[in-house]
Structure 1
């Protein structure tokens, strides 16, 4: 029996990319054996597993304006349901004495700009949904002090990977860490762990034991659009390079494995991968587009995924098999 895996990455205001892929799987009644997810895709996958309309979920709280105005609104008021600014808390820190030079700098330019607003029950429900899913689920967290990443998986993922990959438990604390942005502050990071996407934007390297791997990268795999001509465009380039470079390294590793298997050089039965298909973001967006989900991102990912999964070998399973037990 062929094993299939789908890797989804979370990236700013582009979670609708993964949502489009999940919706395509729904429409085609196809279910992979395992999902790997990072950052915001953890929330999207959990909602999808519960049978929610993930397109509507992501679009209902988006700003109406988009662009620069939306960026300023997000900076001042936060992102509804996700994070809020901590201006008041940072202002009160000026009351602490004595003030050393480093303390003044911390107050003038604090590391913590926002605080997450998802309550504990919501985070616990995400963990419960992922643990009870019959499909395998793996996500990552990042120990920024040691520079090491951690993978967390449910029971189905443990069975599929059969000891090949060390997986930590999926807990509410792990979910909270996996959604912890660096703007939330480092001292406050739960267990000293933050969003694993800062370490690995998409989890691919461990998927050599699956025959078919599909990866949805929520960013272009090459630079699309004009070269950067101002500092905001340079910043946009830096952010995309940050996430794309770790992704490209993992893609290169799996493609090398496929090449060695085709040559007959690699015969270890633990290595089964025969195909790796990329479904990247195919449009250029600017710096201020990180703050608003865009319907066209969903539409393009949906079209790509329908074309890819719809043309492959039959692999249908009833919808009830994916839902939480």
Structure 2
């Protein structure tokens, strides 16, 4: 009797299934140090306990995307071990900060299924929740992934979930005690406040990064992401290992510091698409478009909604004349962040 896990195939999912993912993870300062080594991350709130205390927090939380990667990584053996590709995100909310010493667990509910027309794969939608050691929700998001079928037989009934276009401003969770009333722009690195940004403004973040196999493999292992397409070069017809989409997200977020240094905390993920595959050797750049700006009830805290785009080409280019993503575009991410007004 086999004791190994071949992973779930498309036929193994049923809408309503609740999956508790294995291997809780206690987050330490090691994750923070490795994250800042892998990505050019320089957000002051995530680098300095003293800066964070001046903003009303008990200390510096771990980067929002450390929380995302940790929670996401737990889900891979049950959701995307046999994935062809991770397709998109919606309705993501960061619900409370995570600090070193917190232990995170993940749970997912299957909310949608649709077989592809080729009969060889299908799309699975899941809503994943990450919780800390006190049972408090720290993160919730929906993602959908293309998963191989075991065979070409019957498929589950199609259920496509209705998802919000964006997280409403009133549904953003502001960390308890957060204040930007005495925010130090000099220490943060840029003078630009919320009032300095206009809806429709496009920001070219200027810098580029060439992605290497070594850093991608380290990052994917760090988050305990076991998806075969990221490790096994024989898993794709082109013989290439697919770069984990979260690696691309973190690179882009870090690159966006140049022009958005004061967009301190990600509080919502409205939507996202991995538009084209990314491979080692690709040189990527990032640009952002301001979609909305608003004030919140927290002292001095505003919210800015941003489209973050990763590309191998020029800033501002998103789609071709046919309406499809340009071949150079790798990621299109829509999120809310908190910024001093």
Q: TM-score range by the shorter chain?
A: under 0.3
- Relative CO higher for 1 or 2, CA cutoff 8 Å, sep ≥ 6? 1
Structure 1-normalised TM-score?
A: 0.25
Structure 2-normalised TM-score?
A: 0.25
